[in-house]
Amino acid sequence: MNRLCLILFGAPGSGKGTQAKLLKNTLGLPHISTGDMLRERVARRDELGLQVEKTLQAGALVPDATVNALVAERIEEPDCEPGFMLDGYPRTVSQAEILAGMLRAQAIATVVVHLKVDYNVIVARLAGRRQCPVCGALYSLSPNAPTVSEVCDYDGSTLVVRDDDREEVVTERMKGYDRQTTPVLEYFRASGFDVWEVDGAGAGGPQAIARLIQGMLKDKGYRN
């Protein structure tokens, strides 16, 4: 079976991270989240981390060169040998061009899954999202709510709203997405990559969406 790159594509809050976590074990592919990588860098409090933090808090996008370098380094790690899933990357045509070059150079089979979700649904999802400041676990008011309201199930910490989930920041993120990221789908289509449209708010919830993606990969010969 060829090495596979599965790109989970969609607006902030469309469910990319949830799908990656559901698909990780069944597909045997590591989940690479540029958002997680950037937050890890922020936590280091080094010069780059502070620059990234300022950018995220303003609702802007981190420069392409920074993100490209992080991704290129990550996909060369041993756990990515059978393939990998990308969540939150690429966000611009410039990033997509760099990624496409890397994928073609290594003959990596590539599928783009576009999770389509209505704007109002996305705003409601992000407004209801909470994170543990200690272990990083993510919750929502529904359906993935903590056992005790606003308290982490794992360590008892009080949950917080992430800076990039605040309403004013979400609005800026959506504007940035519409302006810079939407053309990436057209780039992938025009470049001959498989691009699949999937309803990210479909009946049956996240598990049903994950099963649908798995079935499509099998039907198209990307996975057994």
User: Per residue in 106-124, pLDDT tens?
Assistant: 999 999 999 988 877 887 7
**166 catalytic residue (yes or no):** no
Pick the catalytic residue from 39, 41, 91, 223. Answer: 91
One pLDDT digit (tens) per residue for the chain, 224 residues: 679 999 998 887 888 888 988 999 889 899 998 888 888 888 888 888 888 888 888 888 788 888 898 888 889 999 999 999 998 889 889 999 999 999 999 999 999 999 988 877 887 777 788 999 999 888 887 777 899 999 999 999 999 988 878 877 877 877 877 787 789 999 999 999 999 999 988 778 889 999 999 999 999 988 87
Write down the pTM of the prediction.
Answer: 0.75
**189 catalytic residue (yes or no):** no
SS3 per residue for 12-63: CCCCHHHHHHHHHHHHCCCEEEHHHHHHHHHHHCCHHHHHHHHHHHCCCCCC
| Among candidate residues 9, 8, 32, 35, the one with its CA nearest the CA of residue 136 | 35
Pick the catalytic residue from 16, 39, 41, 125. Answer: 16
| CATH class of the domain at 4-118+181-219 | alpha beta
Token look-up 């704007």 returns: 119
**173 catalytic residue (yes or no):** yes
Domain ranges of the chain: 4-118+181-219
Which is it for strands 83-87 and 4-9: parallel, antiparallel or unpaired? parallel
Pick the catalytic residue from 21, 162, 166, 211. Answer: 162
**45 catalytic residue (yes or no):** no
Pick the catalytic residue from 74, 125, 173, 223. Answer: 173
Q: Name the region of 110 (left: φ>0; alpha: ψ -120 to 50; beta: rest).
A: beta
Pick the catalytic residue from 39, 129, 130, 223. Answer: 129
Q: What is the pLDDT of residue 1?
A: 60
